[in-house]
Amino acid sequence: MTKQNEDISEEIIEPTVEETEANEAPKASEASEAEEPHEPVLTELEKAQAEAADMKGRYLRSVADMENYRKRIAREKQDIIRSAAANVIESLLPVLDNMKLGLQAAEYHPEAKDVTFGFKMVDDQLKKSLSEQGLQELIPDGESFDPNLHECVAQQPSADVAEDHIIQTVRAGYRLNDRLIRAATVIISSGPAKEES
């Protein structure tokens, strides 16, 4: 072999310093990748399925929120209607009281029998209309006293009525759709009269 061929072969066999570093760099990065745990690589299908599941969850939450909203609005609407009805009925309670007092007074005037009969029909019609709206009259004669439903204005001894029971209803109470509008004004029994010795 000639000297020139020997020089060429030496140049080809021996790499330069830059080439050596460049060859070692990918090997080092490959080694570091092998040491670190890989995050799972999702395929397009898996990504689409995950996105679809997320969208389905959001959709179901939105549907539930809308259903709760509808129910809440319906409840609020019913509450508004009931409170409006309660205000109207509360304003009519004095009319019912006065009608009742007028009819009781008319019983002592037999000459006004026909007029009394007409007013009794009006009173019954008014009570029927109000009861259709959910009004219930409370006349608790003989019942046990309940401070949640009754207002005591007097206490009297009674041999016929047990202690803490109602002897007489002075003014009727009213309840509208299970809501107390006005407590019944009552007189309650203190039991049999005690004999003084």
Q: How far apart are CA 173 and CA 153, in angstroms?
A: 14
11, containing H or E segment: helix 3-13
Task: Report pLDDT for 68.
Answer: 95
Instruction: Answer whether residue 84 shows pLDDT above 60.
Output: yes
Please tell me the predicted confidence (pLDDT) of residue 22.
53
DSSP string over 28-66: HHHHHHHHSPPPPPPPHHHHHHHHHHHHHHHHHHHHHHH
Quick one: average pLDDT of 37-66?
86
pLDDT band at 115 (very low <50, low <70, confident <90, very high): confident
Q: pLDDT, tens digit, for every residue of 2-30?
A: 555 555 544 455 555 555 555 555 544 45
pLDDT score of 28: 45
Cβ contacts of 122-129, under 8 Å, gap ≥ 24: 123/96, 123/99, 126/92, 126/95, 126/96, 126/99, 127/96
**pLDDT, tens only, 52-69:** 999 999 999 999 999 999
Residue 19 backbone phi and psi in degrees, to 5 = -65, -40
Mean pLDDT for 72-98 is 87
Q: What is the pLDDT of residues 102-113, one digit of tens each?
A: 888 888 888 888
Give the domains, in start order, of the chain with CATH numbers: 75-189 (2.30.22.10)
Is the pLDDT at 133 greater than 70? The verdict is yes
63 phi and psi angles, rounded to 5 deg: -65, -45
